[in-house]
Structure 1
Amino acid sequence: MKKMFKLSLMMMIAFSLVLAGCGNKPSNEGQGQTPAGSAGNTGETKKSEAKIGMVTDVGGVNDKSFNQSAWEALEKLKKENGITTKYLQSKGDSDYVPNLNQFVQGKYDLTWGIGFVIADAMKKVADQNPKSNFAIIDNVVEAPNVQSVTFAEHEGSYLVGVVAGLTTKTNKIGFVGGMDIPVIKRFEAGFKEGVKAVNPGAKVLVNYTGAFDKPDLGKAAAATMYNDGADIIFHSSGATGNGVFNEAKDRVKQGKKVWVIGVDKDQSLEFGDDVTLTSMVKDVEGAVTRYSKQVIDGTFKPGAPVTLGLKDNGVGLPETSKKNVPEDVLKKADEYKEKIIKGEIKVPEK
């Protein structure tokens, strides 16, 4: 009898374990694992198959300026959407066509060209490859498969001219340009006009280095201007402008108070508040993001050239300006901004 009871008890226990095992069988669903092709609730981003490339001008991807802004935009999109991104750095004019063609041959969905000087090469490659899509920053390429994005640099430069004109203690202000091309002339024209509007007695010294990738030339140009009495220099020279900042830093270490006005990005983030008065920011990152997202969404279609100005927040002063620019000066800059937007002031482009 006892033997039969023990046997029955063992069978009941075994049966219970079988039932428990069936009820708790591990599953790929509901255990933190996401079925293929679904983002679930894990915060993961669905991977996009889009491939977007970028060709830099000679300033390079780490120019602390607009090439860097464009690449940062693509890197953010890669992180957010899982797209494929790649850049090719150009060391000279002869690199533009082969670099653009490399992305065409790689069947990239969009290829960006960053810089005014890439336009001719992009026109050639775009015409030869009508089924490939391109976009360019800072110039206009007349082709149905190219989206052109330019900026009203003269409008933003007018505002930093106002800041410089009201801040200078010596009434001598410098402008260091890279290559003598239309886009840089817009920077110069707007800047000089802004200085003139608030301080007609100030003199603006101008030096074009002829390069966007020569910090040593930027440093030499800045040294000459500071020696001539300038206490503020606005540069629009890509990586050449790094030398302008280096010269300013050397002088600040010697106890001399001089300033640099940065370009394209908020350059105080790179070179520090001790020498950066403000910057003339171009929203290159925003523009690259906008059209690249269209590629990701499948809605990209090249259209008419786009020019982004003050009314579009495409150019302007960064928030960090308040660190070194007095409140009354920023208020004056805002007043001129509104006048430009309303059309009360027409800023010359050259």
Structure 2
Amino acid sequence: MRRGLKITLVAVTGAALTLSASACGGKKADSDDGGGGDKKSLKIGLAFDIGGRGDQSFNDSAAAGLDRAKKNLNVQTEEISAKPDEPDADKESRLRLMANKGYNPVIGVGFAYTTAIIKVAKDFPNTKFLVVDADQCKVEGANVSGACFSEEQGSYLVGAAAALKSKSGTIGFIGGVNVPLIQKFFAGYQAGAKAAKPGIKVLPPKYLTQPPNFNGFKDTGLGNEAAKGQLDQDADVIYHAAGGAGIGVIKTVGQAGKWAIGVDSDQYNQPAVAGVKQQILTSMVKHVDLAVYDFVESVANNTFKAGTKQYDLKNDGVGYAPSGGNVDDIKARLEELKAKIVSGEIQVPTKV
């Protein structure tokens, strides 16, 4: 069992919230006095995106960073998930609740938290805030940090992999919600595919929902149906950027004996897709865990800096997963393309 205290916050209805706490066996968490001269214990509040911990994709990558902080640093945590189609007021309410309870720093996972965090941070100038996937990579405030990712760079590499491994000559892309962030994934994917194999056919992107409906990041049924549609159009490699809904994509594509490409986490090792893991070609890994841990560590060490930080191929903020060995035969080509992106020889587009 993990040493220390685990505190979980659960949304009930609207902005109503209930708190439950349970202690694991072993020694109690260090007190704020930090016995023996330790630093004062940080109390981290983290608000997940839709799907929460357990989505086996974007949120779980954030959770891994939080878990690493609990393991390596003197911290306590509180976490909560978003609800589909909730108003910004609900996001503000949970952020304010955590800040009022003394949680510092406070983290919002997902671009949808950007506006709420900037607003709440003004009322809590002594609390440090992080928004993961800051909308348009912009934040405001002396106590606000934003983590941004070059998703298009990692997507370029998995697009190249898709084109090189396709036998039908047709590949597909399924995005969770039609927003600029997810459009970046497709732009990089298409560019990488066409660079690796100019004659490849890239189907028009399929977005599961349109904003303000964000259920496309959660509903596996929508992912399943979209995957069937692209398989029917002869796609034999399909890349998803759909969070939890992507589990439906992977299962459907895998069961059809075609290649699926995961996103955010290395999905080859996720329990939900264990039955079709051999059909996962690769995953575009987005190290949200690194961004969360870097931020917490900066607060703990008093090295926090406001503004945005970019995570890209150069600093291993994004990349592709080799798990399963399915890209071993084309890895040299992928590494060649990666080196050209890092050097600046290849400029990856963020828009189609």
**Equivalent residue number for residue 209 of structure 1:** 208
**Equivalent residue number for residue 313 of structure 1:** 316
**Equivalent residue number for residue 324 of structure 1:** 326
**Equivalent residue number for residue 138 of structure 1:** 133
> Could you report, residue by residue, the CA deviation over 1:205-246 in whole angstroms, capped at 9, with x for unpaired residues?
210002211111011100111121111110001111011012
> Could you report, residue by residue, the CA deviation over 1:110-130 in whole angstroms, capped at 9, with x for unpaired residues?
111111111111122112322
Matches within 5 A, 1:9-158: 37-38=35-36, 49-92=41-84, 93-94=86-87, 95-139=90-134, 140-158=138-156
Answer with 198-207 or 143-152: which moved more: 198-207
| CA distance in 2 between partners of 1:37 and 1:269 (Å) | 39
| CA distance in 2 between partners of 1:319 and 1:248 (Å) | 19
| CA distance in 2 between partners of 1:128 and 1:276 (Å) | 46
TM-score (norm 1): 0.82
Rg (Cα) greater in structure: 1
**Equivalent residue number for residue 265 of structure 1:** 265
Answer with 102-111 or 70-79: which moved more: 70-79
Post-superposition offset of 1:131:
2.3
Aligned residue for 1:278, secondary structure, equals strand
- Indicate if the aligned counterparts of 2:254 and 2:280 stay in contact, CA closer than 8 A: no
Aligned residue for 1:209, secondary structure, equals strand
Structure 1 unmatched runs, 5+: 1-35, 40-45, 252-256
Aligned residue for 1:310, secondary structure, equals coil
Aligned residue for 1:150, secondary structure, equals strand
| CA distance in 2 between partners of 1:302 and 1:338 (Å) | 29
Matches within 5 A, 1:339-350: 339-350=340-351
Select 1:245's aligned residue among 244, 247, 250. Answer: 250
**Equivalent residue number for residue 4 of structure 1:** none
Post-superposition offset of 1:347:
0.6
TM-score (norm 2): 0.82
**Equivalent residue number for residue 194 of structure 1:** 192
**Equivalent residue number for residue 182 of structure 2:** 184
| CA distance in 2 between partners of 1:314 and 1:190 (Å) | 16
Aligned Cα root-mean-square deviation (Å): 1.7
Structure 2 unmatched runs, 5+: 1-33, 210-215
Post-superposition offset of 1:49:
1.3
| CA distance in 2 between partners of 1:343 and 1:294 (Å) | 29
Q: Which runs of 4+ in 1 moved over 6 A?
A: none
**Equivalent residue number for residue 283 of structure 2:** 279
Higher helix content, 1 or 2: 1
| CA distance in 1 between partners of 2:58 and 2:139 (Å) | 19
Q: Report the count of equivalent residues.
A: 301
Q: In structure 2, give the amino acid aligned to 1:313.
A: D
